[in-house]
């Protein structure tokens, strides 16, 4: 012990911990990263739910003239407060319109299907075996999810 220097604290046993400055920065960075992960998870969940809703809406929509006419007329009635005469006339117009659309779809759909089949075959012919297997899976998904159903009419359940 140094008796000449009374400020010498070599024998002082009180613990004094000083946190390094990097500890505060690393906590801040961790909080930021955690916040970003939570934000990204929220975005992903929102996108998945939205896409599921859109897909379900498109799949549930039926182009059958009877169903479409009923839906359109219900909307017309609630929006425009139609008289009975207007309802009768508009229902006839709407039904004829959807029947015409269905006929057009029945005429055109075989051409669309044929063209898509040819497209799939042409692409597959240019790929190796591994690529072709992947292409066939992706192409099947594309056809099932993004092309119109056989010719607009969906099977009755």
In the chain, where the domains are located? 22-60, 63-157
In this structure, the number of other CB atoms found within 10 A of the CB of residue 78 comes to: 9
- Measured CA to CA, the distance from residue 23 to residue 31 in angstroms comes to 12
Question: Which residue, among 141, 148, 83, has the nearest Cα to 110 in the 3D structure?
Answer: 148
Which has the higher per-residue pLDDT, 61 or 102? 102
Q: What is the pLDDT of residue 64?
A: 72
Q: What is the pLDDT of residue 108?
A: 86
- Measured CA to CA, the distance from residue 149 to residue 138 in angstroms comes to 18
Which has the higher per-residue pLDDT, 115 or 11? 115
What is the C-alpha R_g of the chain? 34
CA distances from 127 to 52, 123, 133, 135 (A): 32, 7, 9, 8
Q: Find out whether 82 and 124 touch, Cβ atoms under 8 Å.
A: no
pLDDT above 50 (res 155): no
Q: What is the pLDDT of residue 89?
A: 95
Q: What is the pLDDT of residue 4?
A: 56
Per-residue pLDDT band for 12 (boundaries 50, 70, 90) equals: low
Chain segment 90-131, per-residue pLDDT in tens:
999 999 998 888 888 888 888 888 888 899 999 999 999 999
pLDDT above 80 (res 32): yes
pTM value is 0.48
Q: What is the pLDDT of residue 46?
A: 96
In this structure, the number of other CB atoms found within 10 A of the CB of residue 143 comes to: 13
Q: What is the pLDDT of residue 141?
A: 87
Per-residue pLDDT band for 157 (boundaries 50, 70, 90) equals: very low
Q: What is the mean pLDDT of the chain?
A: 81
Question: Which residue, among 94, 66, 37, has the nearest Cα to 153 in the 3D structure?
Answer: 66
């Amino acid at each position: 012990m140094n008796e000449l220097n009374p400020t010498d604290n070599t024998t002082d046993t009180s613990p004094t911990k000083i946190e390094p400055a990097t500890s505060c920065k690393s906590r801040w960075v961790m909080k930021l990263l955690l916040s970003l992960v939570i934000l990204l998870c929220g975005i992903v969940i929102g996108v998945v739910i939205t896409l599921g809703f859109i897909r379900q809406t498109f799949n549930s929509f039926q182009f059958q003239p009877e169903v479409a006419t009923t839906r359109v007329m219900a909307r017309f009635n609630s929006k425009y407060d139609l008289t009975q005469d207007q309802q009768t006339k508009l229902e006839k117009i709407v039904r004829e319109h959807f029947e015409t659309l269905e006929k057009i779809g029945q005429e055109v759909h075989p051409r669309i299907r044929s063209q898509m089949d040819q497209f799939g075959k042409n692409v597959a012919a240019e790929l190796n075996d591994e690529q072709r297997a992947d292409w066939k899976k992706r192409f099947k998904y594309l056809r099932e999810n993004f092309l119109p159903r056989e010719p607009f009419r969906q099977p009755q359940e």
